[in-house]
């Protein structure tokens, strides 16, 4: 596995259909394709195909919520323990946290976070931060999101480019 992509938890539509990043306004699948991380247009229903491109996908917390404000601290603790086991087992080169809030929660960061490669490692894997591709995310434009996904693609391919800055 080249990259393990980690979301925070499933949203309503993802839980309803049983596939990751399935919200109607979510741009995750489009970003994966346009960045070159996957070579063809796929959607949420194709999430089981990600290993074809050396990608894995999981959530920190399994419980569905319409937003992250109702997630409890104990769920973060249990989810982090499970995520650590998954990373030790699957041994991805890169763990990419999909969302600045998720990265902050895991690494207890309060300062501004730069998208892209981070100084920390996670169970031996390089750490990347991607913007949350939800249609609710007004912090980044689509162009900024795509730039961050392209930096990840470059790193996953082994050709490093300057980290994306917001």
Rounded Cα distance between 86 and 78, Å, is 13
- List residues bridging with 96 in a β-sheet: 5, 128
Q: Are strands 94-98 and 55-59 parallel, antiparallel or unpaired?
A: unpaired
CB–CB of 8/68 below 8 Å? yes
Q: Tokens 């730039």 correspond to what residue?
A: 147
Rounded Cα distance between 99 and 73, Å, is 18
Give this prediction's pTM: 0.89
pLDDT tens by residue, 101-119? 999 999 988 888 999 999 9
CA distances 57 to 81, 121, 141, 160, Å, are 16, 18, 23, 22
Beta strands per DSSP E along 52-124: 55-59, 94-98, 116-122
pLDDT tens by residue, 27-58? 999 999 999 999 999 999 999 999 999 999 99
- Does residue 2 carry a pLDDT above 60? yes
Rounded Cα distance between 3 and 11, Å, is 22
Q: Are strands 94-98 and 116-122 parallel, antiparallel or unpaired?
A: unpaired
Fold of 3-157: Uracil-DNA Glycosylase, subunit E (3.40.470)
- The angle subtended at Cα 74 by Cα 82 and Cα 85, nearest 5°, is 10
């Amino acid at each position: 596995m080249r990259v393990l992509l980690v979301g925070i938890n499933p949203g309503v539509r993802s839980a309803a259909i049983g596939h990751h990043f399935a919200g109607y306004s979510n741009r995750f699948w489009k970003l994966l394709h346009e960045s070159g991380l996957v070579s063809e247009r796929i959607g949420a229903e194709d999430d089981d195909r990600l290993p074809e491109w050396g990608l894995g996908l999981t959530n920190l917390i399994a419980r569905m919520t319409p937003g992250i404000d109702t997630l409890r601290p104990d769920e973060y603790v249990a989810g982090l323990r499970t995520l650590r086991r998954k990373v030790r087992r699957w041994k991805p080169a890169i763990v990419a946290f999909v969302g600045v809030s998720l990265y902050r929660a895991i690494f207890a960061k309060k300062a501004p976070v730069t998208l892209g490669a981070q100084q920390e490692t996670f169970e031996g894997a390089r750490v990347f931060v991607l913007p949350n591709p939800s249609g609710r995310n007004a912090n980044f434009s689509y162009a900024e999101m795509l730039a961050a996904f392209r930096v990840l693609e470059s790193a996953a391919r082994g050709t490093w480019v300057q980290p994306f800055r917001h």
